[in-house]
Amino acid sequence: MPGGVAPVQDSHHQQRCAGDDGLTASLVIICIVASSAGLIFGYDIGITGGVTTMEPFLKKFFPSVLAKMMAAKQNQYCIFDSQVLMAFTSSLYIAGLVSSLIAGRVTTAAGRKGALIIGGVVFLIGTALNAFAEHVAMLILGRLLLGFGIGFTNQAAPIYLAEMSPPKWRGTLTSLFQFFLSAGSLLACFINYMVFPMGENAWRYALAFAAVPATLMTFGAVLIPDTPSSLIQRGKVQEARLALSKVRPAKSDTESEINDLIKSHDERPKMRKSEAYGMLFQRKFRPHLVLVAAIPSFQQLTGISLVAFYAPVLFKSIGQGTSNALLGAVILGAANCAGSLVSAYAVDKYGRRFLFLEGSIQIFLSLVAMAIIFAVELGTAGIEPFSQTSAIVILVLMASISISFGWSWGPLTWIVPSEILPTELRAAGLGVCIASNFIVTFIISQTFMAILCKMKFGAFLFFAAWVLIMTLFVGFFVPETKRLRLDNVGDIWQSHWFWRRYVEQAPR
């Protein structure tokens, strides 16, 4: 398909890049610390679905949902169709939407490191409110604070990783964020499964444990340096030299890399921080704006919400006990982690487009198969119980979605937007990216159980149709950015069959 044209780099540029391709232990450690921001987001995604299946939690906050669960005959599609219950899940994402737009300015002014610390502290406050909640208002306030914290960390971490990484390893190191996100979700599923037998306060223990990864990430962020690009942007050139020398091999030409960053910064137009969002809407940045908004929006239309925060709910809906539902979520979390490891290996070897397209096709086929099984087993009435065989097949298909998402739309949603944006627009652009992701996640999390109740098995076909659309979008409009230096990625637009009409031609 069109869109895969890579820019031609001159031999001098290739020689200049060759010296900074190596990994150092300090770079890996620093990137692991920054990537651990994904733990808190993943943990929250994983913990929510499990907690909302625990009877003590439902009894205290959502008794009407518990009553439907206990009914002798209930429509399996509609058990968890409660607007208040969905508000508990979705409130985090509307808060994340708001904070991600604020975070763009904070990430520019306070640096990538500063935004990570701020996000971690706010997340810890939200965790405390959730763990000690006594009524729904307190519960949702805690969720809002969690969302504010995640809005900061989700924006800062991918930028940090992209700016710290040498070109050869940028895809692998940036994909660490998705790996930790998957690991956080798996950890949450495991915690849900372990605390379930602990009785009335099991849900409190599950929510409180979020403080552990949040504390580790926050204190770790205090110890790491900020990125050279961010330091130069704020006029701290000497600190940028020191930061770069800590993460590059001893023999690499760090001075040349610093000079390139300074030159790139000086050649770009000076602007107030508030002007960056306005620049994104200029014609020459149309490709950047479309991709940073479309890719994260499409991510949530893959149907991953079925696997993430609604997996235990869905298993419970098809007649599985709470313990089996939580165990199924653990299996799906492990599949997602495995997919993230595949991505870390393959993203810089096979490229972004290949993983996007393969993952999309696999997700599409799995969703269609799920729709067929739900149609056969439950029809539209949704009263007949699922057979054990069909429940196992559903688990396998959801695992297929989870693992393919783990090596495609999961990590690439953070990798590609962080690569294609110029330095002066990177924070603002990632703000749009996170906001787009959160607003679609909010809509889906607030409406999914209602969609399942109204559309029945057609809900899976709904997501399959979106996956088909996004596969075509990637094929035609997403260029390949594998192994390109961040200060040269802009060249890809001028060789792209569609986007070249929008960007300014480079001077000859």
pLDDT of residue 401: 93
Total number of residues shown for the chain:
508
| Ranges of the chain whose pLDDT falls below 50 | 1-20, 72, 506-508
Rounded-to-integer distance, Cα 52 and Cα 135, Å? 15
Residue among 432, 433, 427, 420 at smallest CA distance from 487: 420
The sign of the CA dihedral 58, 91, 470, 336 is negative
| Per-domain residue ranges of the chain | 23-224+269-504
Rounded-to-integer distance, Cα 128 and Cα 117, Å? 17
Distance from CA of residue 100 to its chain's centroid?
A: 13
pLDDT of residue 209: 95
Residue among 40, 58, 399, 299 at smallest CA distance from 188: 40
Q: Please measure the distance between the N-terminal and C-terminal CA atoms of the chain and give it in whole angstroms.
A: 29
Rounded-to-integer distance, Cα 160 and Cα 229, Å? 9
Angle, alpha carbons 70-74-80 (nearest 5°)? 75
Over its C-alpha atoms, the chain yields an Rg (Å, rounded) of: 23
Residue 278 host element (H or E): helix 275-280
pLDDT of residue 269: 61
Q: Token match 């969905």: residue?
A: 86
pLDDT of residue 298: 95
Break the chain down into helix, strand, coil percent, rounded to 5: 80, 0, 20
Rounded-to-integer distance, Cα 85 and Cα 74, Å? 18
Rounded-to-integer distance, Cα 238 and Cα 97, Å? 35
Rounded-to-integer distance, Cα 229 and Cα 226, Å? 9
The answer to whether residues 325 and 53 touch, using CB atoms and an 8 Å cutoff, is yes
Rounded-to-integer distance, Cα 437 and Cα 450, Å? 20
The answer to whether residues 128 and 211 touch, using CB atoms and an 8 Å cutoff, is yes
Rounded-to-integer distance, Cα 68 and Cα 70, Å? 5
pLDDT of residue 317: 55
pLDDT of residue 59: 87
CATH of 23-224+269-504, one of 1.10.1040.10, 1.10.10.10, 1.10.3430.10, 1.20.1250.20: 1.20.1250.20
Rounded-to-integer distance, Cα 52 and Cα 64, Å? 13
Helices 458-477 & 352-378 angle (0-180, nearest 10): 170
Rounded-to-integer distance, Cα 211 and Cα 195, Å? 16
Structure tokens at 206: 């599950």
The sign of the CA dihedral 134, 306, 335, 159 is negative
